[in-house]
């Protein structure tokens, strides 16, 4: 961007000099963390909390996969199984995927990328974490105290009238957490509008900011609709009124409309930030400007707008009118256009790039492949006739896991690795990181590809007793899940290890463009010594590399620097 990045060296700390002040050593007390308004510290708080809920959701999935190893119900009872897949869905969707990239990477990076000192509303940001954590613990309590067996979708009238499980408590927990989402989205939109550094025009913004902005729009406009739907379910249970109860003249389908009006856009809350991460990683590890910057940016907005118009494709077999179904089918096809624009632009960026396969790039490439598969099968299920065949089968389960895990989680992990040196001030062990990226890719495919076949053959979702002939594919899936679990365990271990034993990270280990790399790692509390002034387009890799080659004689590869610091 503005400043030409001179080659930095990770100079060994001088024992006579006092250590540099940065956001991590600004205070060590519990109070300095729990009452912080520093966006970087709040990002760390979110990182810890969402990792916790990810583990909880993962444990539920583990039992589900273990139980599905055999066709009989031998590990858990049917009711327990229902509660387990509900717990997995609720935890992963509301407490991991939706907050993951926005709350952790977004919180950390948005002000840094904009050249700002903090988000527009730092105290609201802290409130967002408290609200999230209280909602999460409340829901966790509901899960442990008795569980919920409605599935994460809470379809009425089962959830409002018949289920005797902790529906109320779970609804309250999710309702509370929704405010966290709203506050985060609101904070980002205001910050991006009002707090950009001088010279940082909209078309000089990093693409990550574009995608976070589009995500925030969905968070702000979608989440309240989920809130009112859950409130109505709660009121129905509490006050014995019949908004969704057919016995009292209500319509259960209305709940599905309201629920999916939020929950379909919510899928884009999960995937758009990952797309933003990939749009940062791919140019850096190709040493090229992204192909079609404006197309990638505007496609984020197109996805956000379309996302609000496609909810009806979840209701093809719920008794929705056939004409409604046709319109929703067509609109769902239209979402494929901006999504494909992104995939084509990333691959065009790769063309003739100087590609290196560091860990973030492995995740980004994995994302592109898996997202493409998830997206293409999305077209299958958006087709009215095909959906009748695969609706509520494992085909759907495989489809949305390719988007939510193959897409969103790969992007999240790629982003965590890419910005880890900035966040922690340490480098992670590259060998282990690559190994786990590859493990996750193969483990993921082994887990979920068989589920496409299972679903197409007719195995319904949410059943744990199934015909004998499905066992082989289910065992394959469970075996893949164990590899996937190992793949997730490694980053958790070596990233923690690197906090103490990792090599000290230079300010810009990837020789990447972007304001966040122009401040030391980890950044000082006030982010920048003085507000940066931007005079140039984003992703000017040619100039960065040109300067490095002429000035230092180093090879123009993002790894060159890293190798110096790792092996030198």
Partner 1 sequence: MAEVHAPGTPRALAHQFDDLEQQHQADELGMWLFLSTEIMFFGGLFLAYTIYRTQDEAAFAAASHELDLFLGTVNTVVLLGSSLTMALAVFAAENLQRRKLVLLLMATMVLGCVFLGVKGFEYYHKYEHGLMPLLGLPFDWPGPSPGHAEMFFDLYFLMTGVHALHMLIGLGVLCVLLIKASRGRLLGDFSAPVHLTGLYWHFVDIVWVFLFPLLYLIGAR
CA–CA gap between residue 396 and residue 384 (Å, rounded): 14
Among the residues of 7-114, which ranges form H helices?
A: 30-34, 39-67, 78-90, 98-99, 107-114
Nearest CA to 372 out of 346, 393, 349, 351 is that of: 346
Q: Is 120 in the site for partner 1 (CB under 8 A)?
A: yes
Q: Is 107 in the site for partner 1 (CB under 8 A)?
A: no
Q: Is 117 in the site for partner 1 (CB under 8 A)?
A: yes
Q: In this structure, what DSSP letter does residue 504 have?
A: B
In the chain, count H helices and then E strands: 19, 0
- Binding-site member from 118, 149, 358, 516 for partner 1 (CB under 8 A): 118
The backbone torsions φ and ψ at residue 265, rounded to the nearest 5 degrees and listed phi first, read -55, -30
- Binding-site member from 212, 225, 410, 481 for partner 1 (CB under 8 A): 225
Q: Is 222 in the site for partner 1 (CB under 8 A)?
A: yes
Q: Is 194 in the site for partner 1 (CB under 8 A)?
A: yes
CA–CA gap between residue 462 and residue 454 (Å, rounded): 13
Q: Is 516 in the site for partner 1 (CB under 8 A)?
A: no
Provide the minimum distance between the beta carbon of 195 and partner 1 in the complex, in angstroms, as a whole number.
7
Q: Is 190 in the site for partner 1 (CB under 8 A)?
A: yes
Q: What is the DSSP string of 179-200?
A: HHHHHHHHHHHHHHHH-PPTT-
Q: Is 223 in the site for partner 1 (CB under 8 A)?
A: yes
Q: At what angle do helices 252-286 and 322-350 cross, to 10 degrees?
A: 10
Please say which residue, 232 or 446, places its beta carbon nearer to partner 1: 232
Provide the minimum distance between the beta carbon of 220 and partner 1 in the complex, in angstroms, as a whole number.
6
Stretch that binds partner 1, among 60-68, 159-167, 236-244, 344-352 (CB under 8 A): 236-244
Please say which residue, 526 or 540, places its beta carbon nearer to partner 1: 526
- Binding-site member from 24, 66, 221, 479 for partner 1 (CB under 8 A): 221
Q: Is 240 in the site for partner 1 (CB under 8 A)?
A: yes
**Residues with Cβ within 8 Å of residue 178, at least 6 apart in sequence:** 135, 223, 224, 226, 227
- Binding-site member from 212, 232, 272, 284 for partner 1 (CB under 8 A): 232
Please say which residue, 37 or 471, places its beta carbon nearer to partner 1: 37
Long-range pairs of 249-253 with CB within 8 A, sequence gap ≥ 24: 252/155, 252/156, 252/157, 253/315, 253/318, 253/319, 253/320
Token code pair at residue 396: 């759907």
Token code pair at residue 344: 């084509």
* CA distances in angstroms from 349 to 10, 289, 413, 544, listed in the order given: 30, 7, 21, 17
- Binding-site member from 127, 254, 384, 435 for partner 1 (CB under 8 A): 254
CA–CA gap between residue 365 and residue 285 (Å, rounded): 11
Please say which residue, 221 or 479, places its beta carbon nearer to partner 1: 221
Provide the minimum distance between the beta carbon of 288 and partner 1 in the complex, in angstroms, as a whole number.
34
Q: Is 122 in the site for partner 1 (CB under 8 A)?
A: yes
Q: Is 251 in the site for partner 1 (CB under 8 A)?
A: yes
Please say which residue, 324 or 551, places its beta carbon nearer to partner 1: 324
Q: Is 30 in the site for partner 1 (CB under 8 A)?
A: no
CA–CA gap between residue 520 and residue 504 (Å, rounded): 11
Q: Is 211 in the site for partner 1 (CB under 8 A)?
A: no
Q: Is 193 in the site for partner 1 (CB under 8 A)?
A: yes
Provide the minimum distance between the beta carbon of 232 and partner 1 in the complex, in angstroms, as a whole number.
7
- Binding-site member from 134, 168, 186, 435 for partner 1 (CB under 8 A): 186
Q: Is 10 in the site for partner 1 (CB under 8 A)?
A: no
By the 8 A CB rule, do 430 and 562 touch? yes
Give buried/exposed letters for 390-429 (b at 16+ CB in 10 A, else e): bbebbbbbbbbbbbbbbbbbbbbbbbbbbbbbbbbbbbbb
Token code pair at residue 48: 């810890």
Stretch that binds partner 1, among 192-200, 384-392, 480-488, 533-541 (CB under 8 A): 192-200
* CA distances in angstroms from 13 to 128, 189, 478, 523, listed in the order given: 37, 39, 47, 16
Q: Is 499 in the site for partner 1 (CB under 8 A)?
A: no
Please say which residue, 235 or 317, places its beta carbon nearer to partner 1: 235
Provide the minimum distance between the beta carbon of 111 and partner 1 in the complex, in angstroms, as a whole number.
8
Stretch that binds partner 1, among 49-57, 225-233, 291-299, 349-357 (CB under 8 A): 225-233
Q: Is 533 in the site for partner 1 (CB under 8 A)?
A: no
Q: Is 242 in the site for partner 1 (CB under 8 A)?
A: yes
Stretch that binds partner 1, among 226-234, 281-289, 327-335, 340-348 (CB under 8 A): 226-234
Please say which residue, 224 or 353, places its beta carbon nearer to partner 1: 224
The backbone torsions φ and ψ at residue 393, rounded to the nearest 5 degrees and listed phi first, read -110, 180
Q: CA 431: distance to chain centroid?
A: 24
Stretch that binds partner 1, among 76-84, 190-198, 348-356, 395-403 (CB under 8 A): 190-198
Q: CA 369: distance to chain centroid?
A: 17
By the 8 A CB rule, do 400 and 263 touch? no
Nearest CA to 183 out of 237, 139, 223 is that of: 223
Q: Is 35 in the site for partner 1 (CB under 8 A)?
A: no
Please say which residue, 229 or 274, places its beta carbon nearer to partner 1: 229
Provide the minimum distance between the beta carbon of 252 and partner 1 in the complex, in angstroms, as a whole number.
12
Residue 131, Cβ neighbours under 10 Å: how many? Answer: 20
Nearest CA to 93 out of 146, 141, 154, 42 is that of: 154
Q: Is 189 in the site for partner 1 (CB under 8 A)?
A: yes
Q: Is 435 in the site for partner 1 (CB under 8 A)?
A: no
Please say which residue, 26 or 221, places its beta carbon nearer to partner 1: 221
Nearest CA to 314 out of 274, 269, 265 is that of: 265
Provide the minimum distance between the beta carbon of 22 and partner 1 in the complex, in angstroms, as a whole number.
17
Task: Compute how many residues bind partner 1; rule: CB under 8 A.
Answer: 42
Q: Is 305 in the site for partner 1 (CB under 8 A)?
A: no
By the 8 A CB rule, do 408 and 97 touch? yes
Binding site for partner 1 (CB under 8 A): 111, 116-122, 124, 182, 186-187, 189-191, 193-195, 220-225, 227-229, 231-232, 235, 239-243, 248-251, 254, 258, 531
């Amino acid at each position: 961007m503005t400043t030409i990045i001179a080659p930095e060296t990770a100079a060994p700390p001088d024992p006579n000099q006092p250590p540099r002040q940065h956001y991590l050593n600004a205070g060590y007390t519990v109070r300095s963390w729990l009452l912080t308004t520093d966006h970087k510290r709040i990002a760390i708080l979110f990182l810890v909390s969402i990792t916790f809920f990810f583990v909880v959701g993962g444990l539920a999935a583990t039992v589900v996969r273990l139980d599905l190893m055999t066709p009989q119900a031998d590990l858990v009872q049917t009711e327990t199984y229902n509660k387990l897949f509900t717990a997995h869905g609720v935890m992963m969707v509301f407490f991991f995927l939706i907050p993951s990239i926005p709350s952790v990477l977004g919180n950390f990076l948005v002000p840094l990328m904009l050249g700002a000192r903090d988000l527009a509303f730092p105290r609201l940001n802290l409130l967002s974490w408290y609200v999230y954590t209280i909602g999460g613990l409340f829901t966790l309590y509901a899960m442990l105290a008795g569980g919920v067996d409605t599935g994460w979708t809470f379809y009425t009238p089962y959830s409002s009238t018949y289920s005797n499980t902790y529906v109320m408590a779970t609804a309250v927990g999710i309702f509370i957490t929704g405010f966290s989402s709203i506050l985060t989205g609101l904070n980002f939109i205001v910050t991006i509008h009002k707090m950009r550094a001088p010279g940082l025009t909209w078309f000089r913004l990093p693409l990550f900011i574009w995608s976070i902005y589009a995500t925030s729009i969905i968070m702000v406009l979608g989440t309240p609709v989920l809130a009112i739907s859950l409130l109505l379910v709660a009121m129905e249970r509490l006050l014995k009124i019949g908004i969704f109860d057919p016995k009292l003249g209500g319509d259960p389908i209305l709940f599905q409309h309201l629920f999916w009006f939020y929950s379909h856009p919510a899928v884009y809350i999960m995937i758009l930030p990952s797309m933003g991460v990939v749009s940062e990683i791919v140019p850096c590890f190709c040493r090229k400007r992204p192909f079609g910057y404006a197309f990638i940016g505007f496609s984020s907005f197109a996805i956000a707008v379309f996302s609000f118009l496609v909810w009806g494709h979840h209701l093809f077999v719920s008794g929705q009118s056939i004409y409604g179904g046709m319109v929703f089918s067509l609109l769902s096809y239209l979402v494929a256009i901006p999504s494909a624009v992104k995939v084509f632009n990333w691959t065009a960026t790769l063309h003739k790039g100087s590609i290196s396969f560091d860990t973030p790039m492995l995740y980004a490439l994995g994302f592109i492949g898996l997202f493409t598969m998830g997206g293409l099968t999305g077209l299958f299920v958006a087709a009215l006739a095909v959906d009748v065949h695969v609706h509520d089968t494992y085909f759907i389960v495989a489809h949305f896991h390719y988007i939510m895990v193959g897409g969103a989680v790969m992007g999240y992990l790629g982003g965590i690795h890419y910005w880890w040196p900035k966040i922690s001030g340490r480098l992670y062990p590259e060998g282990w990181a690559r190994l786990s990226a590859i493990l996750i890719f193969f483990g993921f495919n082994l887990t979920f590809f068989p589920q496409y076949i299972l679903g197409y053959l007719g195995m319904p979702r949410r059943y744990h007793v199934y015909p004998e002939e499905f066992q082989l594919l289910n065992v394959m899936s469970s075996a893949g899940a164990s590899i996937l679990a190992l793949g997730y365990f490694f980053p958790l271990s070596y990233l923690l290890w690197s906090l103490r034993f990792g090599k000290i990270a230079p300010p810009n280990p990837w020789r990447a463009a972007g304001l966040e790399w122009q401040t030391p790692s980890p950044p000082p509390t006030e982010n920048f010594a003085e507000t940066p002034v931007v005079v140039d387009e984003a992703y000017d890799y040619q100039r960065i590399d040109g300067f490095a080659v002429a000035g230092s004689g180093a090879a123009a590869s993002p790894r060159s620097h890293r190798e110096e610091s790792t092996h030198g």
